[in-house]
C-alpha cells in the first residue's frame, strides 16, 4: 500500500504536556528512591546488629578452638625453636594446618565480613538518605 | 546538550551517580511517551498517572537494562505494558469495530485493498480528529504498531524488539492495521 499515511499521521493532534508533569515524575521517582533506601537501610542495619551479636559467640568459639587444638603451642615453636622448625618445616606446616580450628575460623571470618559489609552498606544508605532529605 | 549525549551514555552516567543524566533522559522522552500513552488510554488524567508510572518503572529497572540494547524500544515496552495494565484494570480494553465478542478479527483475512488513501481524506480540515476517531476503533495491537511507527518513529526492528515478536509479524500487522484504518476512514 502506498504510504501516504505518514502525511495523515502528521495531522494527528498531539496532546499538550500537562504543566508540572516533569516535576511530578521526578517527585515520584524520589519517593520510590526514599522507600527503597529505607528498606535497604532496615535490612542492612538489622544484618549489622545480628552480625554484631553473632560476633561474640563466634569469637569465643574461635579462641576456644585455638586453645583446645594446641595450635598456639605449635606456633610458639617458631619463636622458641626456629632452627628445628626450619629443618622440619614441611612437617611443621602440616601440623599447624592440622591443628587449625577450620570450622570455627571460617564462621568467625564469615560473621566478621558480614558485619563489615553490612555496616558499609548501612553507612552508604544513611548518606544517600540524608542527601535525599536535603533535596 | 539534550541531543548530544546518547541515551545509553546517560544511563551509564546515572548509574555512576550523576542524577542530572536521569533528568535529561526523562526530559527527552516525557512528551513523546505522554503522547503515546494518551493515544492508548484516551484519558488525559489517566495518561498523566500512567506516564508517571512509566518513568518510575524505568528508574526501578535501569539496573537491569542491557547496555547492548536500544533504550527507546525498551522504554516504549514499559509504556505500552503500563498502559495495557491500566486498561485491564479499568476493564476498558476497547473492542474494535473489526472484532467480534470472542476477539476474532472479521476483517483481516478478507482485505485485499492496495489503493492509496484517498486525497480528499488527507485534504479534510478535520483529518486529525477523523484519524483519532478511526484509530480508537482499531484493535489495541493495531493502534500500538501504527502509533509507534508513525508518531514515535520507531522502525520495524525496534517495534518487533519491544513487542517481543518476529519482525515479519509486525510488518504484516502494520499492513493489516493500515487496511483496516483506511476502511474506517472511508466509511466516514
Q: What is the pLDDT of residues B48-99, one digit of tens each?
A: 999 999 999 999 999 888 877 889 999 999 999 999 999 998 876 555 545 5
**Which CATH number describes the domain made up of B7-89?**
1.10.1740.10
- Across chain B, what does the average pLDDT equal? 84
Contacts of A2 in chain B (CB under 8 A): 116
Is B48 in contact with A29 (Cβ distance < 8 A)?
no
What residue ranges do the domains of chain B occupy? Answer: 7-89, 108-187
Q: Alpha-carbon distance B45 to B111, whole Å?
A: 37
User: CA-nearest residue of chain A to B125?
Assistant: A11
**Which CATH number describes the domain made up of B108-187?**
1.10.10.10
Q: pLDDT averaged over consecutive 10-residue blocks of chain A (135 residues)?
A: 76 87 94 88 94 94 88 84 84 87 93 96 86 60
Is B131 in contact with A17 (Cβ distance < 8 A)?
no
Domain membership of residue A8 (yes or no) is: no
Contacts of A7 in chain B (CB under 8 A): 122
Nearest CA among B135, B161, B148, B156 for reference residue B35: B148
Instruction: Report the pLDDT value the prediction gives residue B116, as an integer from 0 to 100.
Output: 61
Instruction: Report the pLDDT value the prediction gives residue A1, as an integer from 0 to 100.
Output: 53
Is B151 in contact with A13 (Cβ distance < 8 A)?
no
Contacts of A22 in chain B (CB under 8 A): 26-27, 30
Q: How far is CA B55 from the centre of its chain?
A: 15
**Number of folded domains that form chain A:** 1
Q: Alpha-carbon distance B66 to A43, whole Å?
A: 27
Question: What is the ipTM for the molecules in this complex?
Answer: 0.77
Domain that residue A65 falls in? 24-134
Amino acid at each position: 500500500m502506498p504510504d501516504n499515511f505518514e502525511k495523515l499521521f502528521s495531522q494527528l493532534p498531539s496532546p499538550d504536556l500537562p504543566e508540572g508533569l516533569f516535576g511530578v515524575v521526578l517527585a515520584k521517582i524520589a519517593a520510590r528512591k526514599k522507600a527503597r533506601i529505607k528498606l535497604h537501610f532496615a535490612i542492612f542495619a538489622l544484618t549489622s546488629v545480628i552480625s554484631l551479636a553473632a560476633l561474640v559467640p563466634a569469637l569465643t568459639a574461635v579462641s576456644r578452638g585455638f586453645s583446645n587444638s594446641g595450635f598456639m603451642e605449635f606456633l610458639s615453636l617458631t619463636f622458641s625453636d626456629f632452627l628445628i622448625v626450619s629443618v622440619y618445616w614441611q612437617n611443621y606446616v602440616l601440623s599447624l594446618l592440622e591443628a587449625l580450628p577450620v570450622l570455627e575460623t571460617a564462621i568467625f571470618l564469615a560473621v566478621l565480613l558480614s558485619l563489615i559489609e553490612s555496616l558499609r552498606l548501612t553507612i552508604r544508605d544513611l548518606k544517600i538518605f540524608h542527601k535525599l532529605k536535603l533535596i | 546538550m539534550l541531543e548530544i549525549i546518547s541515551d545509553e551514555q546517560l544511563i551509564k552516567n546515572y548509574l555512576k551517580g550523576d542524577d542530572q543524566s536521569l533528568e535529561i533522559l526523562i526530559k527527552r522522552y516525557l512528551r513523546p511517551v505522554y503522547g503515546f500513552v494518551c493515544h492508548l488510554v484516551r484519558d488525559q488524567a489517566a495518561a498523566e498517572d500512567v506516564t508517571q508510572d512509566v518513568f518510575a518503572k524505568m528508574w526501578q529497572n535501569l539496573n537491569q537494562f542491557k547496555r547492548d540494547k536500544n533504550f527507546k524500544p525498551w522504554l516504549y515496552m514499559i509504556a505500552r505494558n503500563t498502559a495495557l495494565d491500566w486498561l485491564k484494570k479499568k476493564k476498558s480494553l476497547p473492542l474494535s469495530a473489526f472484532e467480534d465478542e470472542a476477539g476474532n478479527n472479521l476483517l483481516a483475512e478478507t482485505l485485499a485493498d492496495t489503493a492509496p488513501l484517498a486525497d480528499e481524506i488527507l485534504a479534510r480540515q478535520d483529518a486529525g480528529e477523523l484519524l483519532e476517531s478511526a484509530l480508537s476503533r482499531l484493535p489495541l495491537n493495531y493502534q500500538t504498531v501504527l502509533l509507534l511507527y508513525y508518531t514515535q518513529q520507531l522502525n520495524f526492528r525496534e517495534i518487533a524488539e519491544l513487542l517481543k515478536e518476529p519482525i515479519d509479524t509486525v510488518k504484516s500487522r502494520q499492513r493489516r492495521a493500515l487496511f483496516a484504518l483506511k476502511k474506517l476512514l472511508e466509511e466516514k
